Amino acid sequence: MTDLTGKTILVTGASSGIGKATAEHLVSCGAKVIGGGRSVAALEELASSTGVTPLPFDLESEDSIRDAVSDLDLWGVVNCGGFGGEIATPMETDIAVFDKVIRVNARGSLLVIKHTAPGMIARGKGGSIVNVSSQASLIALRGHVSYGASKAALDGITRVSALELGQYAIRVNGVNPTVVLNDMSAFYWGRPEIAAPFLSRMPLGRWATTADVSGPIGFLLSDESAMITGVSLPIDGGFTSV
C-alpha cells in the first residue's frame, strides 16, 4: 500500500467527489490531510469522519487562497477543486460561464501552486503536486469547449511547473480521468444516447470511480513515483489511446 506517513498534503475540492475520495484515501495512506473547499459544512463533516483538517477558501479569490495556504507546512498539494460549467458548442457558449470555468479550474490551481510552492521551496524537503485534469484536455468532446480549454490550460501549468520546480525536488504531475458518474455529471453523461456510444469506444467500457482516480493520485504523491514529473496520466479506460 502507498505510504504517505508523516506527509502533510493539501487537497482542494475536498468537500465532494474525487477530492473527497482523495482526501479519504490519503488519510488511509498515513498522510495528514488538509481539506480545502468552499462548503464549511461539508468540510466539517469530512473532518469528523476522517480527521482531515478543514480549510475553507475560495478558488476564485487570490487573497482568499494566499491567506489560507501560504503559511502551511506542506509536502504535497492536490488541485482537485473544479467547476464543470456548461454543455455548449463554441457558437453557443456563455462567455461568463467560460470565464468562471477558467478562473476556477486553471487560474485557481495556478494560484494554489503560486502560494504553496514558495514554502515548499524554503523548507528544502522537496514535495509533490498533482493537478486533477480531464480526458477533455487530451481529446475533443462535444459540448466541452469551456471545460476542455480550462483543463488543457491546467495541463500546460503542470508541465511548466514541473520544469520550474524540479530543481527544488518538487515534482508536478497531472491525472486526466474519464467521466466519474455522479449527481453532477449524470444530467449529461447519464443519458443513454450519450453514454452508449461513448462507452462503446472505451476499451474497458465503464465509467471511472473515485477510487480509480484517488489511487493514482496517491502514487504520484508518494516516493514510489520519485522519478516521474511533468506527466499527464490518462485514467480513462483507454479512451484517449484508441
Cell numbers 482568499: residue? 64
Burial class (CB in 10 A: 0-12, 13-18, 19+), 166: middle
Q: What is the pLDDT of residues 13-69, one digit of tens each?
A: 999 999 999 999 999 999 999 999 999 999 999 999 999 999 999 999 999 999 999
For domain 8-233, the CATH class is: alpha beta
Known catalytic residue at 147:
yes
Domain ranges of the chain: 8-233
Q: What is the pLDDT of residues 140-196, one digit of tens each?
A: 999 999 999 999 999 999 999 999 999 999 999 999 999 999 877 889 999 999 999
Q: What is the DSSP letter of 125?
A: S
Which is catalytic among the residues 75, 83, 147, 207? 147
Q: What would the grid cell of residue 60 be? A: 476564485
Let me know the angle formed at the C-alpha of 81 by 77 and 82, rounded to the nearest 5 degrees.
140
Amino acid, res. 8: T
Distance separating alpha carbons of residues 143 and 120, to the nearest angstrom: 38
Distance separating alpha carbons of residues 125 and 111, to the nearest angstrom: 21
pTM of the predicted model as reported, rounded to 2 decimal places: 0.97
